[in-house]
Structure 1
Amino acid sequence: MSRIVYVNGRWVPEEQAQVSVFDRGFLFADAIYEVTAVIDRKLIDYAGHLARLKRSLEALSIPLPFTDDELLGLHREIVARNELESGLIYLQISRGAADRDFLFAADMAPSIVMFTQKKNILENPKWKTGLTVKTMPEGRWMNRQIKTVQLLYSSMMKMEAERAGADDAFLVEDGYITEATSSNVHIVTKDRRLVTRHLSNALLHGITRASVLSLAKEVALQVEERAFTVLEACDAAEVFITSASAFVMPVVRVDDAVIADGRPGPISQKLLEIYIKDRMASAI
């Protein structure tokens, strides 16, 4: 059975889904997206994703053609239509279609696409083994706080890491880690401080990141928001990433440096546990 997807006001089988060849999302990557996790048919951290969606659209001057209630209704409907017990909902909004030109009209009608991916989010085997990563030079544009569909560089670096035998890449700018290819990066120092890069246009303002930092403070784990170097990560007691699909994922090797004893550490494991418990309790 094919997925049912939403395209500009219509629910259609994925084989029949069409977007104009003149859509600016295709021609210029002039589009944003959000990803919301689904567990037991409920939306995880939805309020945060909605708020970031609005910020991204506002930054690009793309109007949101739905009320909050209408957009929530679409998320719930796509879950129901696809009988999605566990997985992800992708929402993509482009500026719309027009003849190819760098300039665009202020009153364009946005294109909206939604689709699902079935995935057993609560059974991620990498939680037990952790990830290995390679460091790569940062090469993305300077407005990474906007969640755009401009993911080519991240995709290329992830492929490069895979060819090198690693699971992912850490992107490095001026000696400091900005992000992984699709997630925020955190370290735990040997004196038990959780260090994460401060929010700026250098990185995406992760929704899972914000939730995990809030929960860390609730369990009296000291949080320090600042940039950190590759050397600090290699020397850390723990390294982990956060994202909407992996939640809290340990990293056990950075380049040739094994992190601590090479196994997922207790703090990242605890944060994963309390994040899942807390967010499932507040899922909608």
Structure 2
Amino acid sequence: MLDLNPPDDSGDGTPVRDPVSLNVGGQVYTTTLDTLTRYRDSMLGAMFTGQIPALRDRRGNVFIDRDGNVFRHILNFLRSGALDLPRGFKELALLRREADFFQIRPLVEELAHLEAAGPLSLRGGPLAAMIIVNCDSKVRLLHYNLRHGPENYELRTCSVRAFAVDLFCTWRAFLALLCERFCYRTSQGAARPHPCDPGGSRLRLEWAPRPDQLPQDQYDKQRYRGLAVRDAEAAAADDVPPGPRPVGDMQSFLEELLKVSLAEGFRVDLASPDPADVLHCASLRLVKG
């Protein structure tokens, strides 16, 4: 027996609170309201913000009469913003129909991109993909006043090296993976980078590690920010403190990029100016397939 209840605290229905249990076609999932409402203009966003009513099964789970097995990929996309399909995935058309039903536009666009790219590899990505990376670094001489007292200032000079990376990738799910992997570090906390174009195929990263001699307030005043990498495996180790790992220079960034891209089936196709020294390159091209 199913009960029709509003998904909030209004009326006589059972309120929906974290964690949320969903019964999708007989498969029960547990997640959070933040995940389900990540895209407010989707059907799930409307359901869990009280705009449309929700059905419940006899155990109190919110019931949705759709394919329960495929829904796990939709839920994972809501959690990470990236589409990671398992080996040998053969239900792309069904997943596209379910994404259309739930009206999750970014997922629909990602699936359309995969279908246009052709057959999927064993890892769920396109058989052919390309990454183009352009790297740049500049040293800026920064002059600032160091205050010793009410009217006692000392003029100091400090050099700050700023890094910039322009990255283009034909596999948008991989770019979303990089946005999850890297994060900016500011005095206000960590911030996730985002693609700089509507199609989600270009990413620009800009960061400047703070020199030890530069006070934090002067660093913040210049609107500098650091870059870090989220390393779940390292954080799980007993001898490594939790939290993002700082990216101190371009070589550290390229090393992490290569680590992630090679694991996803890419290989180095071109490195300039010295193909034998990839970690000190100015431009890099990786291909898959």
Question: TM-score, normalized by length of structure 1?
Answer: 0.29
Q: Which has the higher contact order (CA 8 A, sep 6+)?
A: 1
